[in-house]
């Protein structure tokens, strides 16, 4: 038996990375969106289907504005069925605190339910951390030992400084990954890109869901010594710091 992708326990099942329920079933759309899904060995504790993290992610991602039509069609079939079945609990898990549910009319008498609120960032980050580690194992054939930092590229951030920093990470990732191959056999639902390790051993990953939702993550292996970076130090101390990327400017603090 193999070791779990997340811990040292022996695997008891296969974990899909990302979870299988994000990929629409062929019978719903007449096209196969589940070609060669990626799996890694998993223990029970780190299997998203067993912790219901898979359904949590599906509801968090499938209805986001900016998705391609597959994301939306998936939202209006399987996702809405899951919400109807278990609405209150699921929405409580996906959004923390206040939320508003409203309907937008898109054509005559045709409405979309929209939900506005603060997503459960902590749980989303935990889910994506696992997906990053699963994809790493799949891609390189070895487990990743180190720290990941996940940036959810689809959220809109109100606070200007945080927003600028976030745009900086996003744009930097886009530049580093520009020439990298897209991996994944169902690219309309999911693909990933991964950069080479830089001089410090750090690599970047981008996930793209439903053609429009981007998640970025950096992977810093254990034992990596980062050089003191003055800009980051200043930024962390709350001092006004400006980053440049090409001709773009990012003002923090
Ligand atoms: Zn495990």
Expressed in angstroms and rounded, the spacing between residue 76 Cα and the centre of ligand 1 is 33
pLDDT tens by residue, 207-241? 998 888 889 998 989 988 766 566 566 666 667 77
Q: For ligand 1, a single-atom ion, which residues have Cβ within 5 Å?
A: 4, 6-7, 9, 43, 46
Residue 168, both tokens: 């900086």
162 against 233, higher pLDDT: 162
Q: Could you list the residue range(s) of the whole structural domain that residue 90 is in? A: 13-121
In a domain, 135, yes or no: no
In a domain, 67, yes or no: yes
In a domain, 132, yes or no: no
Q: Domain total for the chain?
A: 1
Expressed in angstroms and rounded, the spacing between residue 131 Cα and the centre of ligand 1 is 13
Residue 253 burial by Cβ neighbours in a 10 Å radius (0-12, 13-18, 19+): middle
Percent of the chain with pLDDT over 70: 73
In a domain, 93, yes or no: yes
pLDDT at residue number 35: 93
Answer for the pair 91, 63: CB distance below 8 angstroms, yes or no.
no
Expressed in angstroms and rounded, the spacing between residue 13 Cα and the centre of ligand 1 is 10
pLDDT tens by residue, 180-215? 999 999 998 999 999 988 877 888 999 998 888 889
In a domain, 192, yes or no: no
Reading phi first (left if > 0) and then psi (alpha if -120 to 50, else beta), residue 61 is in alpha
In a domain, 179, yes or no: no
Peptide bond into 151 cis (omega under 30): no
């Amino acid at each position: 038996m193999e070791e779990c992708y997340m811990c040292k326990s022996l695997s008891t099942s296969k974990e899909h990375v990302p979870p299988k329920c994000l990929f629409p079933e062929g019978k719903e759309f007449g096209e196969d969106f589940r070609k060669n899904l990626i799996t890694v060995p998993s223990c029970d504790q780190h299997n998203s289907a067993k912790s219901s993290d898979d359904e949590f992610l599906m509801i968090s991602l499938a209805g986001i504005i900016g998705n391609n039509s597959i994301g939306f069609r998936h939202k209006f079939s399987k996702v809405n069925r899951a919400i109807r079945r278990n609405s209150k609990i699921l929405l409580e898990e996906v959004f923390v605190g206040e939320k508003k549910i409203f309907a937008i009319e898109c054509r005559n008498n045709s409405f979309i339910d929209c939900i506005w609120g603060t997503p459960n960032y902590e749980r989303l980050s935990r889910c994506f951390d696992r997906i990053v580690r699963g994809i790493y194992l799949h891609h390189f054939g070895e487990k990743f030992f180190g720290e990941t930092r996940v940036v959810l590229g689809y959220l809109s951030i109100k606070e200007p400084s945080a927003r600028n920093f976030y745009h900086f990470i996003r744009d930097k990732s886009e530049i580093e990954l520009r020439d990298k191959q897209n991996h994944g056999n169902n690219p309309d639902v999911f693909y990933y890109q991964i950069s080479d390790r830089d001089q410090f051993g750090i690599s970047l990953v981008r996930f793209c869901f439903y053609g429009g939702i981007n998640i970025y993550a950096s992977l810093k292996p254990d034992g990596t010594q980062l050089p003191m970076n003055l800009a980051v130090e200043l930024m962390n101390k709350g001092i006004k710091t400006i980053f440049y990327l090409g001709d773009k400017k990012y003002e923090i603090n």
